[in-house]
């Protein structure tokens, strides 16, 4: 395994070599590579969602390459290298799992989650960092993930809805406010603010229903794509270009696509 890792580190060093490397790799920076890192993480999640383990193997390799890329750039600046990254995560995992690597004990996974966050809080305090219960929530997260984490953190100190019904009521309230702003001809900032409130409550609704918001949205995206592609197929079979049809006619194809799915599931 170490030989394979060393090979990968050598490949990245060669790619970044100013004299003999790849021009594209040489000119990259932390900022330009960051979007690719995020994209590769989503590709890993997509492979898992599809249950494609051959693809998952490849996507994990792509994600590992991103870690090696960032570490190489840091090494070139004399900041740290890949081995420092590995040592750092090893130290952190041992430190935050005293019930595994020490004498502490936890009752279950939920208790471990609470303990994990407490370890993180103490570490931040030890560094003199932000002591807010909301501290440490990354701003590089997808916004729905950040919303979930903000809500979870606030809930730990009791700032949370007592059940799902008040969340549903709040969702209706926020939708009504959007409607009022639209009717009043509100500007983009006002609409962005009110629609943002709707989305934040939707994340809260998913959390209270114990549904992963990202998984639910992925399912909705897949469903829409599947049905829309079937609409195109049905229209083509009728010798019709979907784009030339009125909305009512397009809706008819949508209904046919839905009906086909329903009949297959019965």
The whole-angstrom distance between residue 69's C-alpha and the CA centroid of its chain comes to: 21
Q: What are the pLDDT digits (tens) for 45-96?
A: 889 988 999 999 999 999 999 999 999 999 999 999 999 999 999 999 998 8
Number of folded domains in the chain?
Answer: 3
Torsion of CA 6, 11, 16, 19, to 10 degrees: 110
Residue 228 lies in a domain: yes
With b for 16 or more beta-carbon neighbours within 10 A and e for fewer, the 174-207 pattern comes to: beebbeebeeeeeeeeeeeebbebeebbbbbbbb
The whole-angstrom distance between residue 194's C-alpha and the CA centroid of its chain comes to: 23
Whether 76 and 57 have beta carbons less than 8 Å apart is answered as: no
Residue 125 lies in a domain: no
Task: Give residue 244's domain range.
Answer: 214-265
Residue 36 lies in a domain: yes
Q: Under DSSP, is residue 103 helix (H, G, I), strand (E, B) or coil? A: coil
Ramachandran angles phi, psi of 245, nearest 5°: -90, 150
Residues 89 and 26 in one domain: yes
Q: What is the CATH number of the domain that holds 189?
A: 1.10.287.1080
Residue 145 lies in a domain: yes
Residue at a domain's end among 43, 73, 95: 95
Residues 200 and 234 in one domain: no
Residue at a domain's end among 196, 211, 226: 211
| Average pLDDT over every residue of 252-257 | 96
More confidently predicted of 131 and 19? 19
Residue 111 lies in a domain: no
Give which of 142, 139, 165, 176 is closest to 45, Cα–Cα. Answer: 142
Q: What is the DSSP letter of 82?
A: H
pLDDT > 80? residue 222:
yes
- pTM, full prediction: 0.65
Q: Under DSSP, is residue 129 helix (H, G, I), strand (E, B) or coil? A: coil
Q: How confident is the model at residue 137 (pLDDT cuts 50, 70, 90)?
A: confident
Residue 114 lies in a domain: no
Residues 205 and 220 in one domain: no
Residues 203 and 220 in one domain: no
Residues 144 and 220 in one domain: no
Residue at a domain's end among 95, 122, 151: 95
- Distance between CA atoms of 71 and 130, rounded to whole angstroms? 26
Distances (CA, A) of 60 to 57, 85, 109, 122: 5, 17, 25, 32
Residues 14 and 77 in one domain: yes
With b for 16 or more beta-carbon neighbours within 10 A and e for fewer, the 21-45 pattern comes to: eeeebeebeeeeeeeebeebeebbe
pLDDT > 60? residue 110:
yes
Residues 206 and 144 in one domain: yes
Residue 104 lies in a domain: no
CA angle, residues 162, 215, 69, in degrees to nearest 5: 120
Residues 201 and 249 in one domain: no
Tokens of 69: 């890329």
Residues 193 and 226 in one domain: no
Residue 127 lies in a domain: no
Residues 227 and 251 in one domain: yes
- Distance between CA atoms of 209 and 189, rounded to whole angstroms? 30
The whole-angstrom distance between residue 207's C-alpha and the CA centroid of its chain comes to: 15
The whole-angstrom distance between residue 163's C-alpha and the CA centroid of its chain comes to: 25
Q: Under DSSP, is residue 97 helix (H, G, I), strand (E, B) or coil? A: coil
| Average pLDDT over every residue of 183-202 | 96
Whether 198 and 171 have beta carbons less than 8 Å apart is answered as: yes
Residues 76 and 40 in one domain: yes
pLDDT > 90? residue 263:
no
Number of C-beta neighbours around residue 70 at 10 A: 19
Residues 13 and 89 in one domain: yes
């Amino acid at each position: 395994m170490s030989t394979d890792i060393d090979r990968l580190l050598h490949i990245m060093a060669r790619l970044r070599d100013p004299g003999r490397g790849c021009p594209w790799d040489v000119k990259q920076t932390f900022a330009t590579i960051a979007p690719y890192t995020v994209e590769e993480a989503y590709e890993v999640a997509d492979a898992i969602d599809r249950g494609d383990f051959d693809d998952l193997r490849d996507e994990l390799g792509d994600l590992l390459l991103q870690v090696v890329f960032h570490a190489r750039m840091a090494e070139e600046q004399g900041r740290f290298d890949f081995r420092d990254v590995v040592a750092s995560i090893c130290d952190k995992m041992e430190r935050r799992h005293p019930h595994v690597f020490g004498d502490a004990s936890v009752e279950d996974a939920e208790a471990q989650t609470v303990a994990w966050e407490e370890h993180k809080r103490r570490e931040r305090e030890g560094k003199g960092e932000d002591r807010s219960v909301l501290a440490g929530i990354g701003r590089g997260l997808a916004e729905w993930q950040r919303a979930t984490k903000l809500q979870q953190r606030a809930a730990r100190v009791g700032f949370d809805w007592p059940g799902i019904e008040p969340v549903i009521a709040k969702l209706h309230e926020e939708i009504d406010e959007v409607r009022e702003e639209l009717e009043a001809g509100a500007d983009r900032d006002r609409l962005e603010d009110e629609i943002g409130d709707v989305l934040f409550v939707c994340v809260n609704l998913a959390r209270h229903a114990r549904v992963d918001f990202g998984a639910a949205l992925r399912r909705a995206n897949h469903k829409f794509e599947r049905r829309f592609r079937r609409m195109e197929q049905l229209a083509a079979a009728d010798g019709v270009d979907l784009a030339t049809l009125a909305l009512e006619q397009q809706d008819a194809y949508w209904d046919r696509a839905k009906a086909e799915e329903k009949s297959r599931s019965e």
